[in-house]
Amino acid sequence: MNTLILRTVAPFLTALMLLFSVFVLLRGHNEPGGGFIGGLIAASALAIYGIAFGVSAVRRAIRFHPMAIAGSGLLLATLSGLISILSGVPFMTGLWVYPVIFEVEVPLSTVMSFDIGVYLVVVGAITSIALALEQNEGES
Amino acid sequence: MEALFSILIGLFFAAAIYLLLSKHTVRILLGVALLGNAVNLLLFTTGRLTREVPPIIPAGMETLPSGAANPLPQALILTAIVISFSFFAFLLVLTYRAYQELGTDDTDEMRLAEPRDEQLPPVGY
Amino acid sequence: MAANAPALTFFALFLPFIAAVFAPVLTRLLGDRAAFVLSLAPALAFAHFCTFLPEIAGGEVVTGGYAWAPSFNLSFSWFLDGLSLTFALLITGIGTLIVVYSGGYMKGHEGQGRFLAFMLAFMGAMLGLVVSDSFLMLFVYWELTSITSFLLIGFDHEREAARRAALQALVVTGGGGLCLLAGLVFLWNITGVTQLSLLVHLGDGLRQSPFYLATLLLVLGGAFTKSAQFPFHFWLPNAMEAPTPVSAYLHSATMVKAGVYLLMRLNPVMGNTPAWEILLPFFGGITLIAGSFLAVRQTDLKLMLAYTTMASLGLLTMLTGFGSAHAVEAAVLYLVAHSLFKGALFMVAGTVDHEAGTRDVTKLGGLRAAMPITFGAALLAALSMGGLPLFFGFLAKEEIYAALAAGNPRAVFFTGLAVIGNALMFAVAFAIALKPFVGPHVETPKHAHEGPVTLWLGPVVLSVLGLLAALFSGIAHRYVSSPMASAITDQKIVIDMSTMPHLGLPLLLSVITVLLGALAFWRLTELRAFMGRALESLGPGPDRGFDHFVSGLVRVSGVVTRLIQPGRLEIYITATFILLAVTLLVPPFVFGELPGFPTWPATILVQEAAFFAIAVIGLVAVLRAKDRLTAIVSLGIQGFAVAVIFLLFGAPDLSFTQFMVETLSVVILALVMTRLRLSPRDHRPLAQKLFDAMVAIACGLGFTLLLMKSTQAPFDTLLTDFFNAYSKTVAHGANVVNVIIVDFRGTDTLGEIAVVMVTGLAVLALIRVRAGKRAGSGEGQ
């Protein structure tokens, strides 16, 4: 797809959407949003980038194979659940800590890391599917 | 309102099943996409409908305000949407690959695993 | 007594299984010497069970076990009385000798470790079978013996004959096992007990039940298949495909007696009825006669023994069902005697085969000088089998005739059968013990010489035991025969048959038997030829029937598979949705569960109506799309309409997700569809379209009615209240939907993202397979 407009807009659009996806992910616990939605937004962003500049550009940009991202997400989500067992409460029980960073209390939790895991799985798996299909087109 | 939704969902199911019953993989694929929406709407409606108030607890309150939507079906549907999308993508690629390999989208012609003139297995020990 | 501790018995029961697990490793480490080490397992179990002898002889019963699922009245429990103890001793005792013998017989064979493992596993199963108290355990062990027997018969799995024999044995005995399971369920339902130790003292309750005959037939189905009674006998001779230690152990001394064991075990509650006393002697008698005649015909040592085993099992069944305490005593004596002499003779046959290279009796002769010890053991065993004085077999035969010989016609008939069967078995016994050893030397494929100690130890011990048990019959009766007979009849029985011949009718019958047997032995060649001609004129037997059964089964499966799996997707889908429509529509229209007439909503906002209309338009457009682009766009339209509907009804999360998913769907659909020269046009003929539309509309209507009905019911807010109450207070989240996803139902979500992950991998694999193929074959597209 060689339209000039898309090529000009795509990098900004992708960057903006990726930022927005992280925003949606992190505010998900208290406002509309969360890992699934954030992941889908990020995957769309990468898909747009791929349509504009080709699959190899996306692969270079994200550095890791998308399925590796998905795998690390699944690992993170599983570990978030397992931490609870180590602390002596049932699997998947949410644990919270409130460290103070730069004089701001930042609530952190295994629930959040679990949601980040969901985000990574969705980004990775869906990007992988989209890229696989786009790439195939490029070849034939 | 639920009655109106019931009718709409009936239409969704009928359209999805009509498409699924055809012999061509592309139409079956479209049917699967519709079926996902039909099921999601069905779940949504069984949790009862409320207008516009999302299930988000306002600041300073401990529980949802009255009239807020039922959060449980929403949580179920949210994951269902993503799963049905993955399923849809998989079926799409399967259709695509089947067409490339077999040169047809007619399910009657796809008999690689179950050939039409399949012989009985040999009798032996 | 410390040895009575339940833990020790439990250990003894599992010892063979433990040994089986270590058998392959030990064989790799120690080579042929492993068998000696492994034989310690059954030997220890034997020693353990011996410690029970005084107690059981005193008329006591030892039970023990551990609760397994107490709420279902299931336990792992055992039950030792005269009957099970005798069997346990035979199994472990002969088992010890067999393991040693196997070490010699399979020497240098690469599969020796596997063989010993199967053998010991079988031993554990058989041991468990005879001491089981609960029905469930009995059944599990029963099937386990069938399975291990299958593995052992098919040990030489590269030969088709062995595979066929193994499958045949499994089908016949496994099928019988299913009968037995049904029979046990009947027993449980009728009596309400699940333990044999309780069942045997129940008295007449079972016999008076209207389901008695059904139960009896089912139990007999299990017992007759296992014990190779006519007409299920054919698998036993075929099982001779197994290596000889297997034949000696499973198919003469132990497993085939499991059926007889079961009959003896159930005798107190099921015996003493007309059905029992007709069916058992009748089928036992046929089996006795058929087996002994078929045995005469054979020239293969193992087959001769196999058919006499079948005949002996028939005799045992006949005696068990004959219906007098005397007959039971005879069965007990004969069972013990048979295990001893038949095990010995099988091992002799194996040794001869091993050393001389053939077991065809017409190609053997004059081995006396080369194999003196084996010859001696064979002779002792044959004397016992022939029922000559001084041997345990003689005691058994005296008791048989004493039990059967009475004035009435039924007794005369069965006495006649017993005499004929015994005479023929006498002839076969001496054919096996004498023909290979005496007479002029015949050249054999291998240069024959005496086998190593491992090969002659077993036969010698067993045949000498047959002599000693008769000489010291008092001890044998006190500790073994009398308690066993008491357990079978559930009354105190003392057997005092000794080796001193008494003048009387039984002795006369014995003499007649021996004379007839000697005559048959003298004219064996003519008799064999005559039997061959007679059997050929009878036509094929049930063995051929098995082949027809198997090929018929394959044909039937083929027809059924073609009927329900024609390989056409549309038929599967149509069937599924017709069934769905029926499921949905039957409750409202047949049982009157129609929803109440819906009330028109008080207010419909303009935007709601608009997006409803857009969704419907999208649906219709998808159905009617003539080209790819229309189809994709219309699919997108209905998807976005659904997303907006979610937003309008208080679900922003769903709405955003739906938007993203629809966008991505449209993108990937477009990516793929542009490359496929496919049109979404409908190719169905009109009639088909109408039929499909009917099915679809029926399903749609069903869902509409279901949803109306269920939303008219009062809403149970239990779960919603729970999430509402704890979302902020416990899980610290204001967005309840997200809290449910990542916290309350986190494990569920973990599973779901795993599914997403797997789908990604699957898509990648599908695409990659293509790429790999293209690179491999080097053809471009």
Q: Is the pLDDT at A138 greater than 50, yes or no?
A: no
pLDDT band at A139 (very low <50, low <70, confident <90, very high): very low
Nearest residue, CB atoms, A32 vs list C656, C672, C754: C656
Contact B82 A32 (CB under 8 A): no
Domains and CATH numbers, chain C: 324-522 (no CATH), 569-717 (1.20.120)
Secondary structure tally for chain A: helices H, strands E? 5, 4
Q: How far apart are CA C75 and CA C695, in angstroms?
A: 52
Q: What is the pLDDT of residues B92-120, one digit of tens each?
A: 988 888 888 887 778 777 777 777 777 77
Whether chain C has a CB inside 8 Å of the CB on B102: the answer is no
Do B37 and C673 make contact, defined as CB atoms within 8 angstroms?
Answer: no
Which residues neighbour C23 within 8 Å (Cβ) at sequence distance 6 or greater? Answer: C34, C38, C113, C114, C116, C117, C120
Render pLDDT for A59-91 as a digit per residue (tens, 0 to 9).
888 888 999 999 999 999 999 888 888 877 777
Beta-strand relationship, A108-109 and A104-105: unpaired
- Judging contacts by C-beta atoms under 8 Å, the chain B residues touching residue C740 are 71-72, 75
| Predicted local distance difference test score (pLDDT) of residue C679 | 62
> What confidence score (pLDDT) does residue A17 get?
92
User: For B55, which residue in chain A has the nearest alpha carbon?
Assistant: A32
Q: Which long-range contacts (CB under 8 A, 24 or more apart) does C744-747 make?
A: C745/B75, C746/A81, C746/A92, C746/A94, C746/A111, C746/A114, C747/A81, C747/A91, C747/A92
CB contact under 8 A, C764 and A41: no
Query: CB-CB: which of B7, B18, B72 is closest to C693?
Result: B18
Residue C614 to residue C622: CA distance in whole angstroms: 12
Backbone angles phi, psi at B111, to 5 degrees: -125, 35
Partners of residue C657 in chain B, C-beta under 8 Å: 78, 81-82
Claim: this prediction has a pTM higher than 0.90: no
User: Which residue in A has a C-alpha nearest to residue B78's C-alpha?
Assistant: A36
C693 touches chain B (CB under 8 A): yes
Assign A66 to helix, strand or coil. helix
The reply to whether B57 touches chain C by the CB within 8 Å rule is yes
Q: Do the chains contact at A129 and B89, CB–CB below 8 Å?
A: yes
Looking at residue C771, its pLDDT comes to 58
- Does residue A97 register a pLDDT over 80? no
Interface of A with C in 111-130 (CB under 8 A): 111, 114-115, 117-118, 121-122, 124-126, 128-130
Q: Which residue has the higher pLDDT, C145 or A133?
A: C145
Please name every residue paired with C360 in a beta bridge, in sequence order, or none if there are none. Answer: C300
Q: Judge contact between B102 and B109, C-beta under 8 A.
A: yes
Say whether A126 and B85 touch across the interface (CB within 8 A).
Answer: yes
Which residues 6+ apart lie within 8 Å of C649 measured at CB? Answer: B44, B49, B50, B51, B52, B69
In angstroms, what separates the C-alpha of C654 from chain B's closest C-alpha? 6
C269 closest CA partner among C179, C176, C183: C183
C497 contacts C472 by C-beta, under 8 angstroms: no
% of chain A beyond a pLDDT of 70: 89
Average pLDDT in chain A: 84
Whether the CB-CB separation of C39 and C79 falls below 8 Å is answered with: no
Confidence at residue C3, expressed as pLDDT on a 0 to 100 scale: 45
Looking at residue B45, its pLDDT comes to 92
C734 Cβ under 8 Å from any chain A Cβ: yes
Contact C622 B6 (CB under 8 A): no
Which of C249, C35, C2 lies closest to C127, judged by CA?
C249
Q: Which phi and psi angles does C75 have, rounded to 5°? A: -150, 160
Taking the C-alpha atoms of residue C586 and residue A123, their distance in angstroms, rounded to an integer, is 44
**Residues A136, B92: Cα–Cα separation, whole Å:** 14
CB proximity C641 to B under 8 Å: no
Q: Does residue A39 surpass a pLDDT of 50? A: yes
| CA dist list (Å): B15 to B80, C532, C703, C708 | 20, 74, 12, 19
CA-nearest residue to C685 within chain B is: B22
pLDDT, tens only, B17-56: 999 998 888 889 999 999 999 999 999 999 888 877 888 8
* Residue B82 to residue A30, Cβ atoms within 8 A: no
Query: Which pair of tokens denotes residue C341?
Result: 């002499």
By the CB < 8 Å criterion, does C639 face chain B?
yes
Interface confidence (ipTM) of the complex: 0.91
Between C657, C664, C760, which is nearest A67 by CB? C760
Residue C750 near chain A (CB below 8 Å):
yes
The two structure tokens encoding residue B56: 């988000």
Please give the residue of chain A at the shortest CA–CA distance from C768: A132
**Under DSSP, is residue C209 helix (H, G, I), strand (E, B) or coil?**
coil
Per DSSP, the three-state class of C735 is strand
Do the Cβ atoms of A37 and C653 come within 8 Å? yes
Which residues are within 8 A (CB) of A33 and not within 5 positions of it... i.e. 6 or more apart?
A: A23, A24, A25, A26, A27, C653, C656, C735, C738
* B55 and chain C in contact, CB less than 8 A: yes
Give the phi and the psi of residue C406 in degrees, each rounded to 5: -140, 175
CB C690 within 8 A of CB B119: no
pLDDT at residue C770, rounded to an integer: 61
DSSP for C116-184, written as a single string:
HHHHHHHHHHHHHHHHB-BHHHHHHHHHHHHHHHHHHHTTSTTSHHHHHHHHHHHHHHHHHHHHHHHHH
Alpha-carbon distance of C461 to C433, in angstroms, equals 16
CATH class, domain B2-51+70-108, is mainly alpha
Neighbours of chain B (3+ CB pairs under 8 A): A, C
Closest CA of chain B from A22, distance in Å? 18
* Candidate from C657, C743, C767 with C-beta closest to A37: C657
As given in the structure block, the two tokens for residue C118 are 């199967």
Residue ranges of chain C with per-residue pLDDT less than 50: 1-3, 776-781
What token pair was written down for C179? 């009968």
